[in-house]
Structure 1
Amino acid sequence: MALISAGVLVVLCCGVPGIVALVSPTSSDKDATTPPAPTIQAADAPSTATEAGLAATPAATSSTAVTPTAAATPVVETRTVTETQKIPYQTRTVNDSSLPKGTRKVTTRGVTGVKTLTYQVTLTDGVQTAKKLVRSQITKAPVTQVVRVGTKVTQQCDPNYSGACVPIASDVDCAGGSGNGPAYVDGPVRVVGSDIYDLDQDGDGIACDT
């Protein structure tokens, strides 16, 4: 009697596994051989370990990194600056015997001088943070003012006499006489008014004539 050996084959069709029976006839009992055990294989089946690994892997979480802001570097600038400064003039006083006493006369007018100062200025972000004097120079020298002061004593003469100046004083005597002053006059002196100092001793109208 003929034996039919059957085999089972797992076929993957359209993603769904199926079982297909394969039948192969044999000629006789004698010739019949024990067919190999059918092998069931899942085609393209995913690995259980791989699936487990994928399931155990958590989803990646997206995050934004925060970068700290670096401090801005200050801008430092150096400049050269010049300034001018006034120099006051001096005044010098000179006695002048040709000018009446108490008289003041400016003979040389004073002129203000000029000094130039050079500085090195440091600016940080546009703000002045340092200032250093590097040079000082007199660019215009001042001129000293000269004032002459009169010392000449102007004697006032008594209008009662002429020909010589009879000073106005508490008493006047003829120079070289016996009088004790305090003022004296060199004659001759003509009396044109009142002889208030009694200078005309002989009454001829001419005093201090001897």
Structure 2
Amino acid sequence: DLCRKTGCKTYIVHTSAAQSLEHIRKGKAEGLPLYCETCPQYLLLDETAYYQPLPDSLKYVISPPLRSKDDQEALWLAIQDGTVDTISTDHCPFNTLGQKDLGINDFTKIPNGAGGVEHRLKLLFTYGVLTGKINLQQFVALISTNAARIFGLYPRKGEIAVGSDADLVIWDPISISEISVKTNAQTCDEDIFERTKIKGSAWKVMIKGDFYDN
């Protein structure tokens, strides 16, 4: 309603529920300047993670929470039909020890969120592209081009063209790895994607024409 009344661009983040997607889809069909984002945790994890005993379940306390497998499937369909525009992470790298465990005796004290920014591209490539849920063009749009368009940075960003910034990721589609707190760049003591098998990774990163260490 706010978007409809004001006509302002509205960016809905961390979409996780099928019911929310229906409202967003309806608004887009009306021509409203409405944009939708979701995160890998809502595409790959579900509410059964909360059935684990303490303290294992603490790391999954995020906002909004993990939903059902039906909601998960609805998100993939919304990505395929263009309802979801971008994939980000809501990166909040809390430790279990000394942070998340504050909620064991008083849930109001638990910090909400999980780390994940370094896994975003690899997870979407492995479980989106390689499973056939999305193609490479959709992959690039979800992680780069759409965001550049939404936030007024296109075509300086989000495009490989003469005059655009030479910000590039050269992707290795065959590298194989496994997510682990032992090898993460982030320093959390837990990872919600621990032991997840991954295929593909950034081989080289270029920023404005200069290569940087990965």
Q: So what's the TM-score if we normalise by structure 1? A: 0.16
Q: So what's the TM-score if we normalise by structure 2? A: 0.15
- Of structures 1 and 2, the one with the larger relative CO (CA 8 A, separation 6+) is 2
Larger Rg: 1 or 2?
A: 1
More strand by share: 1
More helix by share: 2
